[in-house]
Amino acid sequence: MSRRPLKHSETRAGWLFSLPWIIGFLALFVWPLVASIWWSLCRFDMISPPRWVGLNNYVRLANDVTQQQGFGQALTNTMYYSLLSVPLSVVIGILLAVLLSARLRGQAIYRTLVFLPSVIPVVAASILWLWLLNPESGMINYLLSWIGIPPQNWLNQARSAFSLETVEVLQNYTAGNPLKLFGSKDALILMTLWGVGNFVVIYLAAISDIPQSLYEAAEMDGASPCRKLLHVTLPMLSPVIFFNLVMGLIRSVQTFTSIYVLSEGTGAPGGSLNLISLELFLSAFSSLEMGYASAMALLLFIGLMLATILLFRTSRYWVHYRMVA
Amino acid sequence: MSRFRNWISGFVLTCLIALMAVGWLSRETDLPLENRQEVLFWHFWGGRDRAVVNDVVKRFNESQDRFFVRAVAMPGNNLQAKLFLSVTGGDPPDLVNQDDPVLADWATRGVIQPIASVATTTQIHQLDQWMFESARRLSKVNQDYYGICNGLDIRALYYNKTLLDQHGLEPPKTIEELDRIATVLTPDSAAAAEGHYGYLPDSRRLWAWGYVFGGRFYNPQTGQVELDSNPIQQAIRWMASYSQRYGPDNLAAFRQGDQSLPGKSFPLLPAQSDSMVGRYGMIMDGQWRTRDLLDFGRKRKQLGLPSPEFGVCPLPPPPAGRSRAGWVNGNFFVIPTGAECPQGAWEFIQFWIGLNDPELAAKTCAAGGWIPVSQRVVETAEFQQFLIQNPLFAEFVDLASSPNQFPIPAVPGAAMFKRTVESAAYEAMSQPDRPVGPILQQANQRIQQQLQRARAE
């Protein structure tokens, strides 16, 4: 079937209708991207014109990484946070979604309760968590005490649960002293997991879309509920898991408001909450090093892009798209 | 149905008209006169302080026939970015008030103009004689005024006198006496389990203790950072000795517990009505806490409850340290580059600080509970009356005149300087068994590199 060529007036109308979006795209996306690439090669403080410094900003970033200070520290903190919070969000999200998809009395109430934290503004939630994580009077330590875990320092401890310093603490541990394992980054992860409701909603929608016939076939083959979860639910959910993994990764690297509130904009204690987004903000708007901050932003963009490409590459082995006949 | 709809429409319309009328009646009636130049003034004060600021502005506007100040409350977050954008965009305010250590950054980048561009040489000399040394340090970059300090924040040691009396203790005059009081009130971590400490150093206060121990964080003559110098190492070792005594984890937990107090109340004050002891027997804090103590005393009196007596003393030094020393910061005015009415801004600055009429500044400082920047203002009858009513506040005012009150060094990148020092102090205090030297050397090197980069610009 041959297509009728567009008339000149139709083409013009098409461009006119697209123009608002094109202008927005060029002004708010392309221009800032090009400008930040240029600034990353300059010294720029927003007042005087940018001055060309070549790759100096990138060399400085590399030095920071080797010396584990500034950007290097922020990178390590971000990796710790992302590598733990994203997989945990996925696992907990799926488990909650599977539980909430069961036909129970009051199902709607449970679903609402799980989703509720996601609609609370981040600033309010962060202040709430400051209280919950209080080592002396916070509810989290109180709950932990029920299962015999000693009170943790949470937001006042730089040392994280999965770190070499903790290994050292465990090696020197003497019975009777309360073990303080969890630090500020673990607290941040806990807070992130509290807001997992967004993911749960997506999983719930995907679960309801899985054909019942697959479960019936599995039952006829004698599959246990566990088997059905592993061999029916998870493979059918894999495209959604993949989506949430990519989005979760991007979101985790962009986390800013909560760490700004929890650390009063300083990355305290001991720089343990200094994630890349905060380091970038402080470099740009406190130290006025817009060039250095642009280089950081660009590396962040490239890092995220590579991670996403890697996820896409591996997806062919574990993501199963349903074929519609 | 139609009648009901008409009734609703009429009601909504009446509400709208009423709202508009209220808006019109409560509009800013003090509009600038045509023959006066407007001075746009950005500040960040809110709450009860904003009323004091508005009153100063009103008094200034009433006294003027040349200038009219329009005050705009600008939230403190990102004020720097907003100011920079306004300067580069060619439409800056005429006057800004700030309290972050940004003066040198702004001055070296040309965002603000030197005060000499609006003040006469005589006035500059007058400022040199008139201002407290601590206020001058907050106003100058190298030897030039780039800002004018209009209020000081001084830290001293608050103590629960009733508690000290019960143990036969006197307020500390030396660091040994402070240690003794701390150990008598709280010998070890087991004693702290009751929820009280005699005294605990805070890692963020290395700025104060570093100066008290005789150190300086930066040498303006050589341009070198001196964070790893002996006095500062001693100060931080002394601070870390408290972590060693009570356990760093216990201290971290206790410190965070302070944040859970309602409304960030002063942890020196007893939380329960039947108690006479707060979370601390002594604590370092600023003059603004005297308001809390007064309010607390009044409340206890109304309830018919006895109130503990409180006192204030200077930070006690070690033998080779500085007396009446500490870390000072405060508010300062700056005039942005490209301001349309810098002369009007300068007039308002003089009015506020009381350069020509100290009584004017005394009124402002007494109303706001702010420390004046000149002894001339302190000596006015109105301010003396205020001090008689607030004897604890008088201790802070006395410290303001000390030559041993130092701010964060006025160097480019001072915000980063501050963060790095506090982070190093935290590291040393949270791991008291680690040697302090390497921690401070690493921080020192980092700040020095940043300074060199800033100078290269």
- Chosen for mutation from B250, B423, B427, B455 (greatest number of chain A CBs closer than 10 Å) is B423
Same domain, A136 and A163: yes
Same domain, A141 and A273: yes
Give the pLDDT of residue A166: 87
Same domain, A183 and A224: yes
A11-60 pLDDT tens trace:
899 999 999 999 999 999 999 999 999 999 999 988 888 999 999 999 99
Same domain, A38 and A52: yes
Using CB atoms within 10 A of its CB, is residue A279 exposed (0-12), middle (13-18) or buried (19+)? Answer: buried
Chain B positions in Cβ-Cβ contact with residue A158 (cut-off 8 Å): 426-427, 430
Same domain, A125 and A50: no
Distance from CA of B382 to the nearest CA of A (A): 38
Residue B413 Ramachandran class (φ > 0 left, ψ -120 to 50 alpha, else beta): left
B300-331 pLDDT tens trace:
999 999 999 999 999 999 999 999 999 999 99
CATH classification at residue A185: 1.10.3720.10
Phi and psi angles of residue B333, each rounded to the nearest 5 degrees, phi first:
-95, 145
pLDDT at A89 over 60: yes
- Chosen for mutation from A45, A123, A179 (greatest number of chain B CBs closer than 10 Å) is A45
Long-range contacts of A136-142 (CB under 8 A, 24+ apart): A136/B195, A136/B253, A136/B254, A136/B256, A136/B257, A136/B260, A137/B257, A137/B260, A138/B260, A140/A190
Judge: A47–B110 Cβ closer than 8 Å, yes or no: yes
Distance from CA of A46 to the nearest CA of B (A): 7
Same domain, A113 and A226: yes
Q: Which two tokens stand for residue B201?
A: 């150093």
Residue A46 lies in a domain: yes
Residue A23 lies in a domain: yes
Same domain, A51 and A161: no
Residue A325 lies in a domain: no
Give the start-end residues of each E strand in B76-167.
Answer: 95-98, 140-141, 144-145, 148-160
Same domain, A17 and A97: no
Residue A288 lies in a domain: yes
Q: What is the mean pLDDT of chain A?
A: 91
Judge: B254–A136 Cβ closer than 8 Å, yes or no: yes
Distance (Å, whole) CA A89 – CA A245: 9
Same domain, A186 and A209: yes
pLDDT at B73 over 80: yes
B156-199 pLDDT tens trace:
999 999 999 999 999 999 999 999 999 999 988 777 777 889 99
B98-149 pLDDT tens trace:
999 999 999 998 899 999 999 999 999 999 999 999 999 999 999 999 999 9
Spatial CB neighbours of B163, under 8 Å, sequence gap ≥ 6: B185, B276, B277, B281, B308
Distance from CA of A260 to the nearest CA of B (A): 11
Give the pLDDT of residue A233: 94
* Domain boundaries defined on chain B: 37-153+328-406, 155-326+410-456
Same domain, A262 and A308: yes
Residues of A with CB under 8 A from a CB of B: 43, 45-48, 69-70, 130-131, 134-138, 151, 153-159, 178, 180, 266-271, 282, 285-288
Q: Which CATH number does B37-153+328-406 carry?
A: 3.40.190.10
Chain B positions in Cβ-Cβ contact with residue A130 (cut-off 8 Å): 259-260
Number of domains chain A contains: 2
Q: For A137, which of B78, B260, B419 is closest by C-beta distance? A: B260
Equal fold, B37-153+328-406 vs B155-326+410-456: yes
A139-146 and A122-132 helices cross at what angle (nearest 10)?
Answer: 50
Give the pLDDT of residue B264: 61
Distance (Å, whole) CA B239 – CA B241: 5
Q: How confident is the model at residue A170 (pLDDT cuts 50, 70, 90)?
A: confident
pTM, whole model, 2 decimals?
0.83
Residue A203 lies in a domain: yes
B147-158 pLDDT tens trace:
999 999 999 999
- Pseudo-torsion of CA B109, B111, B115, B116, nearest 10°? 60
Residue A189 lies in a domain: yes
Give the pLDDT of residue A7: 82
Distance from CA of B339 to the nearest CA of A (A): 15
Do residues B159 and B282 lie in contact, with contact meaning Cβ atoms separated by under 8 Å? yes
Percent with pLDDT over 90 in chain B: 72
Residue A324 lies in a domain: no
Judge: A288–B80 Cβ closer than 8 Å, yes or no: yes
B80 compared with B41, residue with greater pLDDT: B41
Q: Domain B155-326+410-456 is in which class?
A: alpha beta
Q: How confident is the model at residue B25 (pLDDT cuts 50, 70, 90)?
A: low
Residue type, B310: F
Judge: A131–B260 Cβ closer than 8 Å, yes or no: yes
Distance from CA of B348 to the nearest CA of A (A): 27
Q: What is the DSSP letter of A189?
A: H
Residue A223 C-alpha from the chain's centroid: 35
B265 compared with A52, residue with greater pLDDT: A52
Phi and psi angles of residue A300, each rounded to the nearest 5 degrees, phi first:
-60, -45
- Domain of A231, in residue numbers: 60-318
Q: For A134, which of B78, B260, B426 is closest by C-beta distance? A: B260
B82–A contact, CB cutoff 8 A: no
B398-440 pLDDT tens trace:
999 999 999 999 999 898 899 999 999 999 998 888 899 999 9
- CA nearest neighbour of B369 among B268, B286, B296, B299: B286
Residue A2 lies in a domain: no
Same domain, A93 and A159: yes
Task: Find residue B69's DSSP bridge partners.
Answer: B39
Q: How confident is the model at residue B366 (pLDDT cuts 50, 70, 90)?
A: very high
Same domain, A104 and A150: yes
B92 compared with B48, residue with greater pLDDT: B92
ipTM metric: 0.74
